Amino acid sequence: MSALTNVSTNHAHHALRAAVLSALPTLSWRHHGIGVLQAYLVEHVEPEVRVHIWHPALLKTGMDASGDVHDHRFSMYSHVLVGTVAHEEWLTTPKADGPYTTMLLTHARAAADSAYHGPTMPTGERFDATVNLMFIEAGSIYSYPARCFHRSPVIGLAVTVVEKHHQRSEAARLLHPVHIPPVMAFGHEIGHSLVAEIIAEARAALGGNKQNQGVKP
């Protein structure tokens, strides 16, 4: 069990899956190098709501070695609609010679004019870390608090809806190995044909039966 991640049955699962399937043709996507396409369903209100499509082909080279452990400026609630999400909690302890350090990020909206790749600032802080891994299946909702580090290793196609609650103004952070500079999530191009193929795969999965979504009948 985890003191940080709360997992429960999502009783709105089928309604959310239908809503996302209907909205797919209208959404504007951006590629985040941790292995996900992101598009807003609801923006500039509380809470903001985003659709995420996860796929191994979207993982930017080298990011899983350094660059994908991060925290958020908001408390996150994630509805898993398709597939299984791997969720790693990274529990940090300050340590003068720890193997990890942090970097402050410019959030994507503030960096929209620079292909979402805004200025970064190393903090010089050092940490040790303990990692807890869990797998969260379609039909579940899980929450994770702001300012806590986590990572989402991509293990296959998944579709999630993320609610961003109580968003703050301070910078989010990357946690990365001291001696491996992090790969940046944005500031790159991705093939339109690949994006179209993955969205089509997600559409087919969202329209499939319950067994295909990992939900017990």
How many Cα neighbours within 13 Å face the side chain of 47? Answer: 15
pLDDT tops 90 at residue 109: no
- Percent of the chain with pLDDT strictly greater than 70: 90
CB atoms within 10 A of CB 7: 17
Q: Which of 34-38, 44-48, 166-170, 208-212 has the lowest mean pLDDT?
A: 208-212
Q: Please compute, for residue 68, the number of CA atoms within 13 A of its CA located in the half-sphere on the CB side.
A: 20
Can you give the three-state secondary structure of the chain, one letter per residue? CCCCCEEEECCCHHHHHHHHHHHHHHCCCEEECEEEEEEEEECCCCCEEEEEEEEEEEECCCCCCCCCCECCCCEEEEEEEECEEEEEEEEEEECCCCCEEEEECCCCCCCHHHCCCCCCEEEEEEEEEEEEEEEEECCEEEEECCCCEEECCCCCCEEEEEEEECCCCCCCEEEEECCCCCCCCCCCCCCHHHHHHHHHHHHHHHCCCCHHHCCCC
**Each residue of 110-125: pLDDT tens digit?**
545 544 456 789 999 9
pLDDT band of residue 213 (cuts 50, 70, 90) is: very low
Residue 1 reports pLDDT greater than 80: no
Domains plus CATH for the chain?
A: 6-91+135-169+189-211 (2.60.120.10)
Contact 201, 57 (CB under 8 A): no
Residue 13 binned pLDDT confidence (cut-offs 50, 70, 90): very high
Mean per-residue pLDDT for 174-198? 92
Residue 169 is predicted with a pLDDT of: 84
pLDDT in tens, 56-79: 999 999 999 999 999 999 999 999
How much is the pLDDT for 188?
78
For the residues 10-23, what does the mean pLDDT come to?
97
Is-contact 143 3, C-beta < 8 A? no
- How far from chain centre, in Å, is Cα 123? 23
pLDDT at res. 187: 78
* Per-residue pLDDT at 210: 47
How far apart are alpha carbons 173 and 3 in whole angstroms?
21
In the chain, how long is the greatest CA-to-CA distance? 52
